[in-house]
């Protein structure tokens, strides 16, 4: 297995090429552009035998993906920030129509003020659209998880579109060393796409028909049950990928957390910076650890509760605001997940890294210490914005 240096965006394009997609429909937007530019080059020079559809907007990109996936074509797209929101209404159609589109989202802050840098406001705005959603922390994980996404989405027991989230610029534009997989192994891992209900003039059927009030509620319940049930397949695919590549993924991943009294919860690339803080504090004898939430939808309630069960304090970092509402969206979900438990950690909410603002290891040390202090003082009802000028 060869180890090479690749930009995160190019690693995605390589995974898509190796997955042998049939259709790429995309509109360029910073910081996603390198992904679709490279795929366009692959199609143009014959390295990828696929149809590349250059559309006039992200709304059109997702609409084209609906059509291609519905007729049984392996379909990929990518977007970021405002682009994800422009395709917002079509995201729901893809999920409710059970179309296994794979999309990379180079997470980006939303306007205004205008920002092209990364945070998680775009993904949180699309939280409830019905897609499977998975977070990556580095280029290797992006490559691996894109491959897993095709296998997961196209499984006949799943058939849900899947987003792989990577932090804009911090991952999309950074060159890192990673291992690629051989085409032969990928062909074994990702079987030929065969949607059981693909549109076919010889076997007519209807997708996304008009739903009267008498059937809409039942349709939504069945969709939610199916999305929750997809977690078993996700775990199975990750287990099989681990045997194939030697790299293993879990819905909630722990770092020096087994005996920790205080846990920090993060998502995305900042998790690796947080590990440096955890290492330093551990060297000083402090019982702290890290939880990384990899599977965002369907939310891994059981795995999360088990991972957090032994801690006294859980410090949650959000990279998005819930304007005029409760703490950050991740913290709100965490509080909800723990609410029914008799014994649970105190949850302390912080918001930081907005609009691509860097967070150093010392910043994470400060967050953890502030969280411990607030927990000891019983101040758990509000959230705090880290390193904000007031």
At residue 1, does pLDDT exceed 80?
no
pTM over 0.85: yes
Q: Sort strands 102-107 and 51-54 into parallel, antiparallel or unpaired.
A: unpaired
Q: Which long-range contacts (CB under 8 A, 24 or more apart) does 67-71 make?
A: 68/22, 68/23, 68/25, 69/23, 69/94, 69/99, 69/100, 69/101, 69/161, 69/195, 70/97, 70/99, 70/195, 70/198, 70/199, 70/207, 71/198, 71/199, 71/200
* pLDDT confidence band for 348 (50 / 70 / 90): very high
Token pair for residue 145?
């998880």
Structure confidence at residue 84 as a pLDDT band (50, 70, 90): very high
Query: How big, in percent rounded to 5, are the helix, strand and coil portions of the chain?
Result: 40, 20, 40
For 244-261, what is the mean pLDDT?
A: 97
pLDDT, position 186: 97
The tokens for 57 are 């907007």
- pLDDT over 80 (residue 381): no
Domains of the chain: 3-245 (3.40.50.970), 252-385 (3.40.50.920)
Return mean pLDDT, the chain. Answer: 97
For the record, the structure tokens of 46 come out as 């014959």
Encoded tokens for 139:
């280029």
**pLDDT tens for residues 203-218?**
999 888 999 999 999 9
- Residue 327: per-residue pLDDT: 87
Instruction: Kindly tell me if the per-residue pLDDT of 342 is higher than 90.
Output: yes
pLDDT one-digit tens code per residue, 128-146: 999 999 999 999 999 999 9
């Amino acid at each position: 297995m060869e180890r090479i240096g690749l930009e995160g965006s190019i690693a995605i394009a390589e995974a898509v090429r190796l997955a042998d997609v049939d259709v790429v429909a995309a509109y360029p937007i910073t910081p996603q552009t390198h992904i679709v530019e490279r795929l366009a080059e692959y199609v143009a020079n014959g390295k990828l035998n696929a149809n590349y559809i250059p559309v006039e907007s992200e709304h059109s990109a997702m609409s084209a993906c609906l059509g291609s996936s519905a007729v049984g074509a392996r379909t990929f797209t990518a977007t970021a920030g405002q682009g994800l929101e422009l395709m917002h209404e079509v995201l729901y159609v893809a999920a409710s129509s059970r179309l296994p589109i794979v999309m990379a989202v180079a997470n980006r802050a939303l306007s205004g003020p205008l920002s092209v840098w990364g945070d998680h406001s775009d993904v949180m705005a699309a939280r409830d659209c019905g897609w499977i959603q998975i977070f990556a922390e580095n280029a290797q994980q992006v490559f691996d998880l894109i491959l897993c996404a095709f296998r997961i989405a196209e499984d006949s027991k799943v058939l849900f579109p899947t987003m792989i989230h990577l932090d804009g610029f911090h991952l999309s534009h950074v060159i890192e060393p990673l291992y690629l997989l051989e085409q032969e192994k990928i062909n074994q891992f990702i079987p030929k796409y065969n949607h059981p209900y693909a549109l076919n003039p010889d076997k007519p059927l209807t997708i996304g028909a008009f739903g009267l009030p008498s059937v809409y509620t039942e349709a939504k319940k069945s969709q939610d049950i199916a999305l929750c049930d997809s977690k078993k397949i996700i775990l199975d695919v990750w287990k099989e990928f681990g045997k194939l590549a030697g790299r293993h993924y879990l819905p909630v991943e722990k770092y020096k957390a087994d005996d920790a009294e205080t846990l920090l919860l993060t998502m995305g690339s900042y998790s690796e910076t947080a590990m440096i803080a955890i290492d330093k504090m551990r060297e000083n004898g402090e019982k702290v650890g890290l939880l990384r939430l990899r599977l965002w939808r369907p939310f891994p309630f059981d795995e999360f509760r088990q991972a957090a069960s032994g801690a006294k304090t859980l410090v949650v970092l959000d990279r998005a605001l819930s304007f005029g509402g409760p703490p950050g969206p991740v913290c709100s979900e965490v509080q909800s997940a723990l609410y029914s438990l008799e014994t649970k950690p105190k949850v302390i909410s912080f918001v930081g890294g907005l609009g691509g603002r860097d967070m150093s290891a010392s910043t994470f040390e400060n967050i953890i210490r502030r969280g411990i202090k607030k927990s000891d003082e019983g101040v758990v009802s509000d959230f705090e914005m880290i390193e904000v000028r007031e």
